[in-house]
Amino acid sequence: MLSKHKSTVGALLLVAGLMNNSAVLAQSDPGMSTAITIGTGGVTGVYYPAGGAVCRLVNRTRAEHGVRCAVRATGGTLINLKVVQAGDMELGLAQSDWQHHAYLGTSDAFETEGPDLELRSVFSLHSESFTVLARADADITMLDDLKGKRVNIGNPGSGQFATMQVLMEAKGWTLDDFQEVKTIGPVEQASALCDNRIDATVYTVGHPSGVVQEATTTCDVNIIAVDDEQVRSLIEKHSYYRTSRIPAGIYKGNAGEVDSFAVVATLVTRSSVPDEIIYALVKAVFDNFDTFKGLHPAFAELTPEAMVQEALTAPLHSGARRFYEEKGLILPEDG
C-alpha cells in the first residue's frame, strides 16, 4: 500500500517543503555572527511553539555564545528530517518513530536517501499521542468505525500522515476503505470537522493541543480510543511506540481518559553542525530548565534525565554529549 502512493507522496513532500519555507526570526540581531534555524510544524500545532521555546532561551543568552536562533513553520516531521539531511536547516523536530526510520533507512519514505548515518539526536521532548477526532453525529465510537467515512489523514510530510500509513498497514486497510480521504493540514482540521467536510481526522500531537481545543469548543467532537489488538501488536513490536492516555477533562465534551499509542517529539541535527552551536543550545535549555518547562503545557512532565536518554535512535551530537557528561546526565563514552 505504501509503495503504491510513493511517487505521489514524494512530489507532495517537495511542494509542501517549498510552500513552508518562510522563517520567523526570534529577536533577530543583524550583528550576530551565527544563525541557526529549527524546522517545526504548522503554527497551530505543538512543534512550532516548542521550537520557539528553544529559540527563546538561546536568544536570551546569545551574548554569551553568539548564536541567533530562528524557527521555521514546515509541513512537519518528514520534511524536517529531509531538509536537515540536505543541510538546508541546522535542526528539526521529528517524531521518534521517524527519527528511527531516517537514521536506519527502514521505510519507503527514506528509500531514495537511504540510511542517514550523519543524523544526530539533541534531546527528546513531550509524548505525542495518536489522536482521532470524530464528529459526534458521524456514528464513530471506535477505531474500526473509520472505515466507510470521510477521513483526513494529514498533509504529506507530516508525522500524522506517515504514522497513519503505518496504522493502516497494521489494520490491513487501504485508502479505498474510506468513503473519502483528505490531506488537510493542522490549521484547517478543526474547521473541516465543524463545517462537516470530514467525519474524522487523525493527529499525532502533544496534549493539550490548540487544534483539538479549537475543534472541541467549536462543535460536538469526540476523541476516539485507539486501542485494539493491532495497535497493541504495533507497540509490542516497535520500541519507539508506547501506550498513552489523553488526559481526562482537558477538552470540552470529553470527560474521561482516552487510550491510544504515542511517539515522542525529538530534536535532531547533523554531525556536521559545529559542537559549540549545539553545546550552546542545550546549555541554554538545561541551565534554564524550570523556565523551559513553563513555556508550554506539554512540557510539564519533562525531566532532564528522560530528555537525554529516552526515545533517541540516532547517536547524541557530540556537542550535546559534552554538556550532558559535564552535568552528570549521562556517563562519559569511555566510562
Q: Per residue in 27-69, pLDDT tens? A: 344 444 699 999 999 888 899 999 999 999 999 999 999 999 9
Whole-angstrom distance, CA of residue 70 vs CA of residue 107: 30
**Does one domain contain both 134 and 161?**
yes
pLDDT band at 333 (very low <50, low <70, confident <90, very high): confident
Q: List the one residue out of 329, 299, 86, 146 whose CA is nearest residue 208.
A: 299
**Does one domain contain both 259 and 276?**
no
Q: Is the pLDDT of residue 279 over 90?
A: yes
**Does one domain contain both 241 and 313?**
no
Task: Please write the tens of the pLDDT for every residue from 115-156.
Answer: 999 999 999 999 999 999 999 999 999 999 999 999 999 988
Domain final residue pick, 212, 228, 263? 263
The residue type at 217: T
**Does one domain contain both 154 and 258?**
yes
Task: Please write the tens of the pLDDT for every residue from 91-111.
Answer: 999 999 999 999 999 888 887
| Model pLDDT, residue 47 | 94
Owning domain of residue 185: 128-263
User: Among positive and negative, which fits the CA dihedral 11, 83, 107, 181?
Assistant: negative
**Does one domain contain both 225 and 294?**
no
Worst-scoring range by mean pLDDT, 154-168, 269-283, 308-322?
154-168
Question: Hunting for cell 485508502 — which residue is that?
Answer: 175
335 vs 51: which has the higher pLDDT: 51
| Model pLDDT, residue 2 | 36
**What CATH number does residue 33 fall under?**
3.40.190.10
Q: Residue 70: what are its φ and ψ, rounded to 5°?
A: -130, 150
Asked if residue 333 is part of any domain, the answer here is no
**Does one domain contain both 286 and 238?**
no
Q: Is the pLDDT of residue 84 over 70?
A: yes
- What's the mean pLDDT in 290-311? 94
Task: Please write the tens of the pLDDT for every residue from 213-266.
Answer: 999 999 999 999 999 999 999 999 998 899 999 999 999 999 999 999 999 999
Domain final residue pick, 263, 296, 317? 263
Mark out the alpha helices in the chain (DSSP H runs).
Answer: 6-19, 47-60, 62-65, 77-86, 96-104, 159-171, 186-194, 210-218, 229-237, 275-286, 289-293, 304-309, 318-326
The percentage of residues in the chain with a pLDDT greater than 70, rounded to a whole number, is 90
